[in-house]
Amino acid sequence: MTMRGIAVSAGIAFGQAKVLRTYESKLDYHLLPPSQLAREQQRLNRALKTLIKQSQACAAKLDPESDNYQLIEADLLLLEDEELLAELSDTIGKRQFSAALAVEHSFAKQAQAMQEADSPYLARRAEDVLSLGQRLIRTLLTGHCDNLSRLPENAIVLAKDITPAEFATLPLERISALVLQTGGVTSHTAILARSAGIPTLMSCPWQTLEVIDGMTLAVDAINGELYLEPDETQISALDAQKQQADERKSALLALKGTVTQTKDGRSIPLLANVGCISEINHLADVGAEGVGLFRTEFLFMNNHELPDENRQYQLYCDALQLLDGKPLTIRSMDLGADKEVPALAMDSEENPALGLRGVRYTLAHPKLFSAQLRAILRAANHGPIRLMFPMVNQVEELEAVLALLEQCKQELVEAEKGFGELELGIVVETPAAVFNLASMLPLLDFVSIGTNDLTQYTMAADRANPLLIDQYPVLSPVIIRLISQIIDQAKAAKVRVSMCGELASNPSATALLIGLGLEEFSVNLASLLEVKQALSRWSYPDCVELAHKALQISRIDALNQLLTHCHS
């Protein structure tokens, strides 16, 4: 029996089912007699201690700068929150609720307050809070934390959903695959699963099947299939596919020490996209030539307190030290839209994707922006830094940013603090930026193309909406023409041009992008060797010929056919 889902982290896996179920239906909603209330309070205290201990043990294994660590820390802050604990005790004592019922009531109340704040960030945290409450209820009912420590080797975990905070607590070394009823390719959990290299299916209605713990399963997270009790023919076919994938992975690892160039010797630098310092530690694993995109907003989003100038300065210096002379490309904080910061009072907007985001937000908050600019300027005294600004649409915005940068330099001079020179760039991610580029290029050292937002704003299609993925892919004829315009304009002005959007991480687009004239790629760590391999298979003249053909095409299906044919 098979079931389809969306493959969000590629791979083939075999293993035993481990079903994580919710416990809402088992709660007893009768009020307790007063004689039992003290015992319920003791049960709650024991459960809290157990869950806190487990969370602390998970956190102790993680890098404090990692996303997973920050998510667990957020859970611990809530579990140890004195106001919440007092409310739980009151609910048991005054309302005569059981401990489990008090947890359900109080955590739901917390989550509802977050959802009513009309904030995408708080809405996502609301899901984490509800999920944490369920874990506490399970701990109360079972006496232990989800039994995850007892997962069998090669467990295939099935759940309705796993929040990023829950993902952080999973014993990944025992899990061969994840299958969730909800979610899509751009969800945070999907990103974490890809980063961890765990084959994952989402939006898979496995609950309609009679899955029990220990059942033999197979997950094809390449073609989007879940197999229950696969037969020998299915196992054989999947095994052959897995073997091919493993051999391909081993072959790719052999490329990490080789020179990055086309078949005819044209060098194309391959840099990496990162979101935290700890990811820079893995650049050597794939032979990345530096950081082409450091998403600094995560330094703010994952903390309950804003990192001040000195803290940011130290983080950028740490990054430079790890890179040991390789370039560090910092994108100034790209806040707004779906990227909100718990430590900032960010107003909700009717249409945040078209509102105060990117450089619009930072220019509207010069004190916050100046602290980051001063930290980057000071760090540039210790290594090569490229600084680029997101969502710049017109030259007036760029001039305002550069004026603020000059003001920051003057402040550092007056404070007798040293600073270094920066290479300056923008992320081109809107049609307005493309058509206004000529006026901005004289002020820039480089531009980087952000294809995710460039597609979203050109197509007027929400990049996170799974219903629009097929009709509005990142690679389409109109986007190719815009990319070609960006590259041609930048080259005419002798300004370096790179790409940090998802399209750069797609090996099937590598030859086309080189043919369009792209000079540098910044890609996801997981895709870097595949892009390197794709690059080495093409000569530059063949890439140019491919690009010429693609620019003549007006239909998405014809473009896909051209690329499929040329890679077959």
Instruction: Tell me the C-alpha distance between 194 and 430, whole Å.
Output: 27
Q: Please, where are the H alpha helices in 119-270?
A: 120-142, 164-169, 188-196, 232-253
Radius of gyration, CA atoms only, the chain: 25
| Residue among 58, 145, 276, 500 flagged as catalytic | 500
365 classed as catalytic: no
Q: Which amino acid is at 263?
A: K
Q: What is the dihedral of CA 403, 404, 410, 415, to 10 degrees?
A: 180
Which H/E stretch holds residue 295? Answer: strand 291-295
Instruction: Tell me the C-alpha distance between 319 and 307, whole Å.
Output: 16
Beta-carbon contacts of 465 under 8 Å, excluding residues fewer than 6 positions away, are none
Positive or negative CA dihedral for 506, 507, 512, 517?
positive
Instruction: Tell me the C-alpha distance between 530 and 528, whole Å.
Output: 6
Q: Is 284 helix (H, G, I), strand (E, B) or coil?
A: helix
Q: Is 317 helix (H, G, I), strand (E, B) or coil?
A: helix
Q: Please, where are the H alpha helices in 61-187?
A: 67-79, 82-95, 99-116, 120-142, 164-169
Instruction: Tell me the C-alpha distance between 222 and 524, whole Å.
Output: 18
204 classed as catalytic: no
Q: Map tokens 């058509």 to a residue.
A: 435
* 477 CB burial (10 A radius; 0-12, 13-18, 19+): middle
Q: Map tokens 């997950």 to a residue.
A: 219
| Residue among 188, 282, 365, 567 flagged as catalytic | 188
Q: What angle do CA 194, 176, 239 make, to 5 degrees?
A: 105
Q: Single out the residue of 458, 476, 450 nearest to residue 562, CA to CA.
A: 476
The DSSP secondary-structure symbol of 34 reads: G
Pairing state between β 175-180 and 155-159: parallel
334, HSE (Cβ side, Cα atoms, 13 Å): 20
Residues classed as catalytic: 188, 500
